[in-house]
Amino acid sequence: MLEAAVQLLVVGLLWGVTNPFIRLGSQGIESVRDTGSKWRNLVQEARTVGTRWRYWIPFGLNQCGSALYVWTLQSASITMAVPVANSLSFAFTAITGYVLGEKLPGKKIILGTLLICCGSILMIYDKILQEQAQQQLNIAFQ
């Protein structure tokens, strides 16, 4: 269980830290001029983003986080994995964005994020306690 918790921490870190960098790497996509054709616009936007290493490196790391998340679901309960990974992702996104010069989210958002992170920690702690109790029961009945 502890291994799954560490993996979810890494997932939240990869997702959260890369989000502001992906946002920075995709800046200017909205300035692609409208050619009148939906398909030409799509090709121009793909060409604009496709040539930016500042977009693709964080995107690749973000996808590594997604692969690790799917891998972690083999050993972690989905009812625990989803809130833990997403709350940590949100917290790391806010911290990274602030370090990069973005404004800090409002007090209510920060408080909500802290509460979700505390709840995630309590879920992990409870899961570890349940596993330990189950192991003790297994030993007692052997």
- pLDDT score at 32: 65
pTM of the model: 0.74
Give the pLDDT confidence score for residue 64 in this predicted structure.
96
What are the C-alpha distances in Å from 81 to residues 1, 3, 29, 32, 67?
Answer: 11, 12, 33, 38, 13
Q: Residue 44: in which H helix or E strand, if any?
A: helix 38-50
pLDDT attached to residue 44: 78
pLDDT at 121: 81
Q: Which residues of 97-117 are buried (b: 16+ CB within 10 A; e: fewer)?
A: beeeeeeebeeeeeeebeebb
Contacts of 131 (CB under 8 A, 6+ apart): 1
Give, for all 142 residues of the chain, the pLDDT tens digit. Answer: 678 888 989 999 999 999 999 988 877 776 666 667 778 777 877 777 777 788 899 999 999 999 999 999 998 888 888 888 888 898 899 889 888 888 877 888 888 878 888 887 888 788 778 878 888 888 877 7
Q: 3-state SS of 72-138?
A: HCCCCCHHHHHHHHHHHHHHHHHHHHHHCCCCCCCHHHHHHHHHHHHHHHHHHHHHHHHHHHHHHHH
For the stretch 108-139, pLDDT in tens is 888 887 888 888 788 878 877 887 888 888 88
pLDDT value of position 98:
86
Residue 28 CA to residue 48 CA, distance in Å, equals 8
Q: Alpha-carbon distance 123 to 2, whole Å?
A: 12
